[in-house]
Structure 1
Amino acid sequence: MGTEGDVVWRRIVAIVIDVVLIGVVSSAITGILGQVRLAFLGSLLGLLIGFGYYIYLEGTYGQTIGKMALDIVVVTEDGDPIEYGPAAIRTVLRIVDALPAFYLIGIVAVLVTDRKQRLGDIVADTVVVRAGETAGMQ
């Protein structure tokens, strides 16, 4: 059956952890490059780091550092590990899920869908569950 409903608060905390980590790294890079008048390049690198962070970690492990800390994982709707394609779809749609502010669209979608999926999950055919509880999902 899966445990999608059990992970809503864990997902929110994981997002906060991930955003803080990405923000710290991006700010440091932008600050360093800003010293040599390349702040725009730093901002661009920060954006690429953010996208790369989610795509690589979720595509490789099914988890970001935030998800690892909260013991949740992204899997296909059948319970299989996700690959880079679905990870990329989820990541690009974070832009929409984050609108108009504070992940409002994503949070509303999670609260109203049966499998607690944000828009990125729905399009990528993924769910977020507790780690280790993916066997036998349908």
Structure 2
Amino acid sequence: MSVGEYGLVRTPTARNGTEGDVIWRRVAAIILDIVVIGIASSAIIGVLGQIRLGVLGNLFGLLIGFGYYIYLEGQYGQTIGKMALDIVVVTEDGDPIKYGPAAIRTLLRIVDVLPAFYLIGFVAVLVTDRKQRLGDIIADTVVVRAGEPGRV
């Protein structure tokens, strides 16, 4: 991640061909993202629970989780975890991803996370040539090392 002029976050370029180098960075990024989502969701669930809207809080927590990945990856190619670990999601051609592929990747997390702890996704990353989880395969994306900041 890079902060450009006027404090705007800039999307990094991709260092194509580095998808095999980032497997453990991806694992660490997922852990960081789960912590960030957990903190935000817990705060909202706690507040809504205090006013007897706990069920609604759970729905908001789910929306925060999905929205977090779709917005950050669709806008910047990176979540907070990926920013911290200097990796970026791009198309298989190395171009920045858009909201559509980010939404596909996010929805397929439901399968990738099965049966627990992202086991299906992790196995897929280990056995595919481009180190893609199922969400990446369907969305035609890869995760690579981030290069220098590109567009705003």
The normalised TM-score by structure 2 is: 0.86
Aligned to 1:2: 17
| One of 120, 124, 129 as aligned partner of 1:114 | 129
Aligned to 2:116: 101
| One of 26, 48, 59 as aligned partner of 1:33 | 48
Contiguous gaps of at least 5 residues in structure 2:
1-15
Deviations 1:62-106 (A, max 9, x none): 000000000000000000000000000000000100001000000
> Partner of 1:131: helix, strand, or coil?
strand
* Alpha-carbon separation, structure 2, partners of 1:96 and 1:60: 23
Q: What is the alpha-carbon root mean square deviation over aligned residues? A: 1.0
Deviation at 1:29, TM superposition (A): 0.7
Contiguous gaps of at least 5 residues in structure 1:
134-138
Aligned length: 133
Aligned to 1:19: 34
Deviation at 1:28, TM superposition (A): 1.0
* Alpha-carbon separation, structure 2, partners of 1:102 and 1:126: 21
* Alpha-carbon separation, structure 2, partners of 1:2 and 1:80: 13
Deviations 1:86-135 (A, max 9, x none): 000000000100001000000000000011000000000000000018xx
Deviation above 2 Å: which 4+ runs of structure 1? none
* Alpha-carbon separation, structure 2, partners of 1:115 and 1:132: 18
* Alpha-carbon separation, structure 2, partners of 1:60 and 1:2: 22
Aligned to 2:66: 51
Aligned to 1:78: 93
**Larger RCO (CA under 8 A, 6+ residues apart):** 2
The normalised TM-score by structure 1 is: 0.94
> Partner of 1:93: helix, strand, or coil?
helix
| One of 134, 139, 144 as aligned partner of 1:124 | 139
